[in-house]
Chain A
Amino acid sequence: MNEIERIDKTHTDEAYTLGPLQAGPPCCDPTPLIRVDSLSLHYGKKPALENVSLDIYKGCITALIGPSGCGKTSFLTVLNRMTDMIPDCRVSGNVYFDSKDLRHPALDVQGLRRDIGMIFQKPVPFPLSIRRNIELPLREHGISKQSELNDIMQQVLLDVGLWAEVKDRLESSALALSGGQQQRLCIARALALQPKVLLMDEPCSALDPISSGVVEDLIQRLRGKYTVVIVTHNLAQARRIANYAGFFWIKEQRSGCLIEFGQCKQIFEAPAHELTAAYINGSRG
């Protein structure tokens, strides 16, 4: 047992704070940051999502749960217009971000993706040094003063609890880091752009329990300052960290739909829909 404690201890005694966050606003102020109504999505002729409508509240953590293949990840890709990267993918319905129409063709997509960061299931560090991994997106978005870059880098590496482990080998290759470290580096890279929203597609599924524990702690600490939308299979994790939860399911014609969406407590303790209840206590799916 002491082995686990020792690892936990090493993290806690390193005084890492979430930087300028302090307490942050109450997590659920009433106006939703992202409103989605009757959204559906097709890859070629195959429907992936059927009229999904939900709201995502500023500063809260929203978990999307459901069996694999029910369109959770496709839903995420709509929010930061990554659907544009997928050939012959058609999206219908309307999505508002900060009360701007997210699907408007003239929208500056790069600006949008700076405001809405995304973390993939498999950590994807660039084949560059740890420093350049973080600096490259920043330089792209116009920050070029080296001192400023160093500050931001140190700040975000501290935020993700990676600074202690890498501060003396910033020039070494990011590919040499472990899975957990790489995922935290990717999160740091996204945080460096100070996004308003962070989309996380099963961030911990490829990680060992310890690293995924560290990532989970990190997500908890993001609450309040960042709006987090996390897709996860880990119901315990969702119950622990989410404020809101959405339950997706696959309809007969192989397309995903939203069964139920609401406060996390209500979904997990008193689900309205019997399908959600069955999925929650694991008797189906």
Chain B
Amino acid sequence: MSLSRADKQLAALLRGCALLSAAIVLLILLFLVKESWPVLRHVALTRFVTDTSWHPVDGLYKLTPMLSATLYSTLGALLLATPLGIASALFSRYYAPPFLAGCYRRLIELLAGIPSVVYGFWGLTTLAPLIGRLHPPGVSLLTGILVLTLMILPTVALTADAALAAVPVAYLRGAAALGLSRWGLISGVALPAARSGITAGIMLAAGRAIGETMAVLMVAGNVVQQPHSLFDSVRTLTANIALEMAYATGDHRAALFVSGLALMSTVLVLVGTAEVLSRERHHD
């Protein structure tokens, strides 16, 4: 890569910024390890899986039910939000008349900014009673998944929309010239061309779903148990930290940071698998 002097300086500056942004993750991981060290020192890692339940005050640190709750809620939210998000992006890009598309996009941008507290608040006061009629207690894994879907849908929709906007018009004209139907054009040309942008959007949305704290805390019921049905009340790792951090001391507080570490390692595993999956279709 032959670069002129100005470009070399620019490249060096950019490399610095990139290192900075990568360093933040390291700092956070270091912080988590430092804070969870007190309990990690004398509690074997296996105990976080084998203990009978999660009662840190009495020294029981079972994390697995919360880990599976986090995974189920994130997976459920992604399964709902991805199709709906991409559908709304397609709607505002190819189906809606321009004025309606503009309003729809403004609405989605607005909802990307609503605080998770408002989603949780609305979930607790309107969604939970409705689901409660279906199957008490109303606050459950299902409510959590629905609220999470609402929260990450704007992220998927907006990134998919931006990715579709970047599909060169020539591609679409070429396909249209072949007499493809609108759906044929979309599924055959537009979506494959925008695939990398859409997957980036889904990754961002997954990140947000895993990291969500307040809304899940208010609607998921927060009982530490292995979820067997959609209507079980569950507690995710993030809700666990938010619920107990305010009043946790000593080992209890360190155990909460261990659940933070557990969460970060699940994110690492997810990112790793996404990386392996994306490696085959190598970017040309």
* Chain A interfacial positions (CB closer than 8 Å to B): 81, 84, 105, 108-110
Contacts and interface: CB of A to CB of B under 8 A. Distances in A.
B9 to A, nearest CB: 15
B166 to A, nearest CB: 13
Nearest to A85: B1
Contacts of A84: 1-2
Interchain residue pairs A-B with the least CB separation, the first 6: A84-B2, A109-B2, A110-B4, A84-B1, A81-B2, A109-B4
Interface of B: 1-2, 4
A84 B7 CA distance: 14
Nearest to A108: B4
A77 to B, nearest CB: 13
A105 B3 CA distance: 11
8 contacts: A81-B2, A84-B1, A84-B2, A105-B2, A108-B4, A109-B2, A109-B4, A110-B4
A81 B4 CA distance: 13
Contacts of B2: 81, 84, 105, 109
A206 B1 CA distance: 30
Nearest to A105: B2
A66 B50 CA distance: 72
Contacts of A81: 2
B51 to A, nearest CB: 51
Given A84-B1, A105-B2, A109-B4, 4 more contacts: A81-B2, A84-B2, A108-B4, A109-B2
A110 B4 CA distance: 7
A30 to B, nearest CB: 32
A105 B1 CA distance: 11
Nearest to B4: A110
B284 to A, nearest CB: 10
Contacts of A110: 4
A105 B4 CA distance: 12
A131 to B, nearest CB: 24
Nearest to B1: A84
A81 B2 CA distance: 9
Contacts of A109: 2, 4
A110 B2 CA distance: 9
A260 to B, nearest CB: 33
Nearest to A87: B1
A263 B30 CA distance: 71
A3 B158 CA distance: 52
B171 to A, nearest CB: 15
A109 B4 CA distance: 8
A105 B2 CA distance: 8
A162 B160 CA distance: 41
A246 B2 CA distance: 29
A127 B4 CA distance: 24
A189 B2 CA distance: 23
A110 B1 CA distance: 13
A157 B281 CA distance: 44
A236 to B, nearest CB: 30
A44 to B, nearest CB: 12
A24 to B, nearest CB: 32
A81 B3 CA distance: 12
B168 to A, nearest CB: 12
Nearest to B6: A110
B283 to A, nearest CB: 11
Nearest to B7: A110
A108 B5 CA distance: 10
A15 to B, nearest CB: 38
Contacts of B4: 108-110
Most buried by B among A81, A105, A110: A110
A110 B7 CA distance: 11
A74 B4 CA distance: 23
B64 to A, nearest CB: 45
A18 B4 CA distance: 33
Contacts of A108: 4
A108 B2 CA distance: 9
A222 B43 CA distance: 82
Contacts of B1: 84
A109 B2 CA distance: 7
A110 B5 CA distance: 11
A40 B4 CA distance: 26
A43 to B, nearest CB: 12
Contacts of A105: 2
A108 B3 CA distance: 9
Nearest to A110: B4
